[in-house]
A = this chain, B = another copy of it.
Amino acid sequence: MAKRNIYLETIPVEEAVDRAKAALDRISLLATETVPTHLAAGRVTAGPIYARCSSPTFHAAAMDGIAVRAEATFAAREDQPVSLSHGTGFVFVNTGNPLPEGMNAVIMIENVVQKDDITALIDAPAFPWQHVRRIGEDIVATELLISQFRQLMPCDIGALLSAGIYEVQVRERVRAVFLPTGDEVLDFKDRPEPQAGQVIESNSQVFMAYAASWGIDASYTPPVPDHEETLRQAVLDGLAAGNHAVIVGAGSSAGSKDYSKRVFESLGRVLVHGISVMPGKPTLVAVTDERSGHPGRLLVGAPGYPVSAVVCHEKILAPVLSWLMGATPPERATAEVVLARKTPSKPGMREALRLAAGRINERIVAAPLARGAGMITTMTRAQAVTYIPEESEGVDEGETITAELLVPLADLDRVLVHVGSHDNTIDLLANELMGLAEPLRLVSSHAGSMGGLNALKAGSALFAGAHLFDPETADFNFPFIARYLKGLDVTVVNLAIRHQGLIVARGNPLSILGVEDLAREDVLFINRQRGAGTRILLDHHLKTADISPRVVRGYDNEEFTHMAVAVNVLTGAASCGLGIFAAAKALDLDFVPLARERYDLVIPTAHMEDPRIVTLLATIRKEAVKTAINALGGYETDLTGQIMRPGMGLG
């Protein structure tokens, strides 16, 4: 059996960071270099910087007006103005002009009455040094201007140049290289078409984008194959190239092909194997010793799952590499948010929960997104991330938690929080709303139609997308609203009529043309799970066609999503299944329309005046949007934008 690593222990990220800092000597690791001041923003000073010149270097007018000798104005009163002559008594000055010899005050031009070309009248005394910037007011030559280990901000550059400092000694940038690994990963530079068992390498580029925001000098290599000696050589090459840190992507876990730990152990001392946060757990941290040829450098094994890697970047690499350089690690603004759905969490592990968040009335409501470590799109769709603490067993619905914001706080006022059934028309709307001069961000938590109604009831969604068919009344959504949203006044607006149909193999080799064909002996069906709207629709159509479920081969084989149904068809595990057009299109399968259903937006009537909802509805009603929905295929827009009433069915 292949040899596997085991985790010795997992430790909190803070302790992992502390161990790395304690094992690294940041003073000797990074050299210093001289750079022109005007190119030094973001760099960290290597030593204290003292002002060379004062600023101003002279007494300067601080206002546009006239320079005077204050004592000559002391007698001035409103009813007894003092008259001054140009040249001897006053001189015109603009802001920044040096104060003429003998003058010690400036009177603003607005407060000067010009009697004639050479005479000015002053009706109030000026006090000495009024509106004058005196020499050294801002900067005194020789004084400490900037301390050591300061990351230079834009205004620092201004202060340094003003003080006549034209070049500065700064610490080197931290150099770090990212080595993606894995036999199954394809170099994105080859623009590959991935086959089963292959994935496109992207973690290196997420790292590169993060690294740019940290201000480090980052690089990456093509994927390194799963071979211990090859990986060791790649790490040695990274060190030999002068990198202060080598980050190995994937291979830090406990699989039989995870060589990072053994490689790190052969080149130095492993400080951390496993951090108590999910995603992110299989993070390795080590420091090199003499065996590497370059002792005292940092080695990090970043997990392979994209969200795990992100947690490793944000919680381990950002603080450690920033500290190495002497820079301030980036910090996210936080906000108190109300969790929209009960979320259990494993005690003993901190958990990064991605959140779709937006303001609803006075609260910021946050709906948890999917939790898989492999789902990078949960990061692209999230507005916030919260960390459920180690000691917690989870967070209750309605509980207030602190979340790190991925977007500016003000943006949350311009978010439309949608909870409900996912549909591509919602994505289309989201794209449309981002194109407005003042964009609105439509964010979705995919909780199904019933989940959406529940969210409305809990006040944790601005609106819900639903396509609930009631066979009793042959109506959509209203019977369910009447049952589950008692006491909540809602307005229902149709977004589109959606086609469900039989997803069949390309070219429809079995010529499946309708629900009748499901009774055929050569047709193997794949069903959706009990309770799914699509299954209710199927049962309705079988009943109408007078076909017993028992004669449908495969009726008891269940899948949970449209895509999974389509995959069964793609792989030949089934001849057909019921699903939406988009699922067939995604896998390039054929589609036989079977049933039409209404996909409606259910909006609490109290929100109908909310400017975001007003904009949403105006957008839905645009002709261009209807055209775009029709272009998707599998939709009709006859009812789009119209307010629905109970009993309307399909209009």
A57 within 8 A of B: yes
- In the complex, A26 Cα to B147 Cα: how many Å? 42
Interface residues of A in 436-492 (CB under 8 A from B): 437, 439
A361 within 8 A of B: no
A133 within 8 A of B: yes
Q: What is the count of identical protomers in the complex? A: 2
A135 within 8 A of B: yes
CB 8 Å contact bits of A523-562 with B (1 = contact, 0 = none): 0000000000000000000000000000000000000010
- The answer to whether A134 touches B376 (Cβ under 8 A) is no
- The answer to whether B376 touches A159 (Cβ under 8 A) is yes
What chain B residues lie within 8 Å of A517 (beta carbons)?
Answer: none
Q: Smallest CB-CB separation from A47: which chain B residue?
A: B431
What chain B residues lie within 8 Å of A139 (beta carbons)?
Answer: 377
Question: What's the nearest-Cβ distance from chain B to residue A481, in Å?
Answer: 28
- The answer to whether B254 touches A202 (Cβ under 8 A) is no
What chain B residues lie within 8 Å of A94 (beta carbons)?
Answer: 255-258
Interface residues of A in 114-141 (CB under 8 A from B): 114, 117, 133-141
Q: Smallest CB-CB separation from A411: which chain B residue?
A: B328
Interface residues of A in 206-264 (CB under 8 A from B): 206, 208-210, 212-213, 253-258
A374 within 8 A of B: yes
CB 8 Å contact bits of A197-208 with B (1 = contact, 0 = none): 111111101101
A293 within 8 A of B: no
- The answer to whether A306 touches B148 (Cβ under 8 A) is no
What chain B residues lie within 8 Å of A137 (beta carbons)?
Answer: 372, 374-375
**Which of B58, B157, B194, B198 is the one whose CB lies under 8 Å from A202?**
B157
- The answer to whether B38 touches A196 (Cβ under 8 A) is no
Given the contacts A4-B64, A194-B57, A197-B97, A213 and B135 also touching, CB distance less than 8 Å: no
CB 8 Å contact bits of A11-31 with B (1 = contact, 0 = none): 000000000010000100000
**Which of B58, B306, B424 is the one whose CB lies under 8 Å from A144?**
B424
Residue with the highest number of chain B CB atoms closer than 10 Å, among A96, A333, A375, A434: A96
Given the contacts A136-B563, A306-B162, A1 and B184 also touching, CB distance less than 8 Å: no
A380 within 8 A of B: yes
- Majority SS of interface residues in chain A? loop
Given the contacts A48-B431, A142-B586, A195-B57, A256 and B92 also touching, CB distance less than 8 Å: yes
From A402-410, A603-611, A638-646, the one touching the partner chain is A402-410
A290 within 8 A of B: no
- The answer to whether A210 touches B567 (Cβ under 8 A) is no
| Chain A interface residue count, Cβ-Cβ cutoff 8 angstroms | 129
Question: What's the nearest-Cβ distance from chain B to residue A107, in Å?
Answer: 14
- The answer to whether A372 touches B205 (Cβ under 8 A) is no
Question: What's the nearest-Cβ distance from chain B to residue A613, in Å?
Answer: 19
What chain B residues lie within 8 Å of A55 (beta carbons)?
Answer: 199-200, 376
- In the complex, A336 Cα to B56 Cα: how many Å? 34
Residue with the highest number of chain B CB atoms closer than 10 Å, among A94, A161, A193, A254: A94
Given the contacts A98-B197, A141-B586, A434 and B133 also touching, CB distance less than 8 Å: no
- The answer to whether B377 touches A159 (Cβ under 8 A) is yes
- The answer to whether B188 touches A161 (Cβ under 8 A) is yes
- The answer to whether A138 touches B582 (Cβ under 8 A) is no
- The answer to whether A58 touches B331 (Cβ under 8 A) is no
Q: Smallest CB-CB separation from A118: which chain B residue?
A: B1
A648 within 8 A of B: no
A587 within 8 A of B: yes
What chain B residues lie within 8 Å of A254 (beta carbons)?
Answer: 64, 109
CB 8 Å contact bits of A320-336 with B (1 = contact, 0 = none): 00000010110101100
- In the complex, A35 Cα to B347 Cα: how many Å? 44
Question: What's the nearest-Cβ distance from chain B to residue A25, in Å?
Answer: 10
Q: Smallest CB-CB separation from A307: which chain B residue?
A: B155
**Additional 5 contacts, C-beta under 8 A, given A58-B197, A62-B372, A143-B586:** A97-B197, A136-B567, A148-B431, A153-B406, A154-B206
Q: Which residues of A contact B (CB under 8 A)?
A: 1-2, 4, 21, 26, 37-38, 41-42, 48, 53-59, 62, 64, 92, 94-98, 109, 114, 117, 133-150, 153-162, 164, 166, 182, 184, 188, 191-203, 205-206, 208-210, 212-213, 253-258, 304-306, 310, 313, 326, 328-329, 331, 333-334, 372, 374-377, 379-380, 406-411, 424, 427-428, 430-431, 434-435, 437, 439, 561, 563-564, 567, 582-583, 585-587
> Across chains A and B, which 4 residue pairs bring their CB atoms closest together, nearest first?
A154-B209, A161-B202, A144-B427, A41-B209
Complex A-B: 15 CB contacts under 8 Å: A38-B208, A42-B209, A64-B254, A64-B255, A64-B258, A97-B184, A137-B375, A147-B427, A149-B434, A154-B206, A154-B210, A154-B313, A157-B202, A158-B206, A161-B188
